[in-house]
Chain A
Amino acid sequence: MSDKKPKRRDFLFTATTAVGAVGAAAVVWPMVDQMNPDASVKALASTEVDVSSVKPGNTITVLWRGKPVFIRRRTKEEIEEARSVKMEELIHPEKDEDRAKNPEWLVMVGVCTHLGCVPLNDKGDYNGWFCPCHGSHYDTSGRIRKGPAPWNMEVPKYEFVNANTIKIG
């Protein structure tokens, strides 16, 4: 490239390439986006659960968006254990008060944040959950305490529709 002035032909080249690139991108995007969750998958976004039969110390597992959700009715000891932990001890610091608005009920996606296995109930070094795949330990608030998982188990958006029913999503 020398110090020649751009010619009409240069302009045509650039313009053609630019239009071609935009056109190609416009065709590629639908091809890529068709792989994202479709309307029927998104439509199943919320689930209502009757929790009246869950006794303290018990956990039920429900399926929400193809993933298991743990609903645990915690005992007094478990709540106390979860709330007395100092923030400095946590890998992913989150207050139990923020994770369980109603301290008796812990609702979270039962999926290990490491590589997506389902952790086991009432197991592990912190009386919470233990993931059998790669050995992550979670406490009674579902927070990661030991092992390769980087984050606490996710708390989904949920609300109590009435005293006995939780709506997840």
Chain B
Amino acid sequence: MSDHDYKPKSKVGQWFNDRLPLLTLANHLTDYPTPKNLNYWWTFGGILTFCLITQIITGLTLAMHYIAHADMAFESVEHIMRDVNYGWLIRYIHANGASMFFLAVYIHIFRSLFYGSYKSPREIIWILGIIIYLLMMAAAFMGYVLPWGQMSFWGATVITNLFSAIPLVGEGIVTWLWGGYSVDNPTLTRFFTLHYLIPFLILGLVVLHIWALHVPGNNNPVGIDIKKPSKDTVPFHPYIVIKDGFALLMFMIVFAFFVFYTPNILGHADNYIEANPMVTPAHIVPEWYLLPFYAILRSVPDKLLGVVAMLSAILILAALPWLDTSKIRSAVFRPLYKQFYWILVADVLILGYVGAMPAEGLYLLIARVATAYYFLHFLVILPVLGFKERTLPVPLSITEPILGGSPSLAAARHRESKIK
């Protein structure tokens, strides 16, 4: 990295930078050499940062009007919707913002899976990402409880009861989480506290995530190590900033569509009924972004094993850098992995679909097959594929296939078509 010898131009800048090297940091961030072949799938890091900031700002403003008490929470949310100036807008941005956040994070994760971004030397970036993802789920779940509607209440009941599956201490843990003998006011106040805290933990982890990224630099669609800086890289500013900005604009159009045209389509109508501990809604479903894991939970007939399967489905991702034995990063040069990748995408979408359906008959059967395949992909297919697969030749640099640096022009053309 060239920024170590950076020296501010002005005297004042030098004086300040010698005492706190913020300008060195700013210079590093603007000059940061980025592979020049990054496609639009690489713009979701910026989009996710935007989502986090949006959630924090709208959340702060909502917290000024919300009352975390079992008797008043539901009413205070309606108060925000009806009385507070632009309260409806802020709340709809916050509620749909959670969905947009998950939409972006799933694209971000699946981009990593396709281009092998989790592989050496980027394992720590990946694991930090998984921790962020777990915290996002916790924050989203607790946030969904705050309006104190029927889905809030029963969602909280079902999810906290997952801990009762733990032998011996399970019941004690659930009582401790609740602060009582059922989900009630003590549960609501602590969920509000944690919901407020977690985004700032995520913010800290995002800083580490980016820091860890800036050590090896970005992966790229060809998945090869590149020299930095070189003719294979461009400075982050203005090239990537403009590209990220354009992608963000497109993303905000989708975001605005949900907020202004169908603000409730991703929610559940039952949550506009105040929480009632005496009546369970006929059909409890979590938010769409948790459905695949919910399907895995329900596909196992045993309570404890169902919970174990669901948690493993998430935690298995942390072991991915070691489960994938292939040295080649990008799926562009892995003809078999590419097919299995798309099967996995379909598998997760199917799990999401059956997670929203009642757990019986054909749906249950499909959920079981899809759950088995999910684990098969990570535990069997990926490790074996690294040894069995015949990968395509990888170019020596990003520019090589375009400039025909390969000994055979035909091979260069072939590779070129692959990169496009």
Which residues in A have their C-beta under 8 angstroms from that of B18?
Answer: none
Contact A66 B303 (CB under 8 A): no
Contact of B179 with A117 in the complex, beta carbons under 8 Å: no
A interface footprint on B276-288 (CB within 8 Å = 1, 0 otherwise): 0111111110000
Find residues 90-144 in chain A having any chain B CB closer than 8 Å to their own CB: 114-118, 131-135
**B367 → chain A closest CB, angstroms:** 12
Given contacts A133-B158, A148-B306, contact A118 B278 (CB under 8 A): yes
Q: What is the chain A residue whose CB lies nearest that of B278?
A: A68
B414 to nearest A CB, angstroms? 52
- B407 part of interface (Cβ distance < 8 Å): no
A35 and B177: CB pair below 8 A? yes
B383 at the interface (CB under 8 A from A): no
Contact of B278 among A41, A61, A115 (CB under 8 A): A61
**Smallest distance from the beta carbon of A154 to chain B beta carbons, Å?**
10
Contact of B154 among A61, A114, A117 (CB under 8 A): A117
Main secondary structure, interface of A, reads loop
Whether B303 contacts A114 by the Cβ 8 Å rule is: yes
User: Judging by beta carbons under 8 Å apart, are A35 and B180 in contact?
Assistant: no
- The docked-state distance in angstroms from the alpha carbon of A133 to that of B161 is 13
Q: Which of B183-222 contact A (CB under 8 A)?
A: 183-184, 186, 190
User: A76 interface residue, CB < 8 Å from B?
Assistant: no
Tell me the complex Cα distance, A63–B278, Å: 8
B158, A65: Cβ atoms closer than 8 Å: no
B303 partner residues in chain A, CB cutoff 8 A: 114, 148-150
Smallest distance from the beta carbon of B281 to chain A beta carbons, Å?
8
Give the residue name and chain of the B residue nearest to A132 (CB).
B282
When chains A and B are docked, how far (Å) is the Cα of A110 from the Cα of B160? 17
Contacts of B306 in A (CB 8 A): 148
Contact B280–A133 (Cβ < 8 Å): yes
Interface assignment of B301: CB less than 8 Å from any CB of chain A:
yes
Chain A neighbourhood of B261, CB < 8 A:
none
Does A6 make an interface contact (CB < 8 A)? Answer: no
Cβ–Cβ < 8 Å partners of B186 in chain A: 35, 37-38, 41
Interface residues of A in 24-70 (CB under 8 A from B): 32, 35-38, 41, 61, 63, 65-68
B283 and A37 contact, CB distance less than 8 A: no
Contacts of A131 in B (CB 8 A): 280
Q: Are B180 and A66 in contact (CB under 8 A)?
A: yes
- Given A133-B158, A134-B298, A135-B360, are A36 and B278 also a contact pair (CB < 8 Å)? no
Task: Tell me whether B277 and A68 are in contact (CB under 8 A).
Answer: yes
Of A63, A116, A132, A134, which is in contact with the most chain B CB atoms at under 10 Å from its CB? A116
With both beta carbons as reference points, the residue of chain B lying nearest to A112 in the complex is identified as B280
Roughly how many angstroms separate A5 CA and B358 CA in the complex, as a whole number?
68
From residue A153, how far is it (CB to closest CB) to chain B in Å? 14
Does B40 sit at the interface, judged by CB under 8 A? no
A117, B301: Cβ atoms under 8 Å?
no
Q: How far is the CB of B298 from chain A (nearest CB, A)?
A: 6
Q: B279 — which chain A residues lie within 8 A by C-beta?
A: 118
CB pair A134–B359 under 8 Å, yes or no, is yes
B360 (CB) vs chain A CBs: closest residue: A135
Interface residues of B in 151-192 (CB under 8 A from A): 154, 157-158, 160-162, 164, 175-184, 186, 190
State in angstroms the CA–CA spacing of A117 and B158 once bound together.
7
A133 touches B181 (CB 8 A): no
- Docked Cα-Cα span, A35 to B184, in Å, equals 13
CB 8 Å contact bits of B347-370 with A (1 = contact, 0 = none): 000000000001110000000000
Query: Is B302's CB within 8 Å of the partner chain A?
Result: yes
User: What is the chain B residue whose CB lies nearest that of A41?
Assistant: B180
Given B162, B184, B282, B359, which contacts A66 in the complex, CB threshold below 8 Å?
Answer: B184
Assembled-state Cα–Cα distance A148/B86 (Å): 45
Least CB distance, B361 to chain A, in whole angstroms: 11
How long is the Cα–Cα vector from A106 to B108 in the complex, in angstroms? 54
Q: Is the CB of A65 within 8 A of B180?
A: yes
Query: How many angstroms between the C-alpha atoms of A149 and B183 in the bound complex?
Result: 19
Chain B minimum-CB-distance residue to A37? B180
Look across to chain B and name the residue whose beta carbon is closest to the beta carbon of A33: B176
- A35-B190, A115-B158 given; A67·B182 CB < 8 A: yes
A residues adjacent to B (C-beta < 8 A): 32, 35-38, 41, 61, 63, 65-68, 114-118, 131-135, 148-150
Given A66-B180, A115-B161, A149-B303, 5 more A-B residue pairs with CB atoms under 8 Å apart are: A37-B175, A114-B303, A117-B280, A117-B284, A135-B359
Enumerate 19 A-B pairs (CB-CB under 8 Å) in ascending A order: A32-B176, A35-B176, A35-B179, A35-B190, A36-B179, A41-B184, A63-B278, A65-B180, A65-B182, A66-B180, A66-B181, A67-B181, A67-B277, A114-B303, A116-B160, A117-B157, A133-B284, A135-B358, A148-B298
Instruction: For the complex of A and B, list the 6 residue pairs with the smallest distance between their C-beta atoms, beginning with the closest.
Output: A66-B182, A65-B181, A116-B161, A115-B161, A117-B280, A115-B158
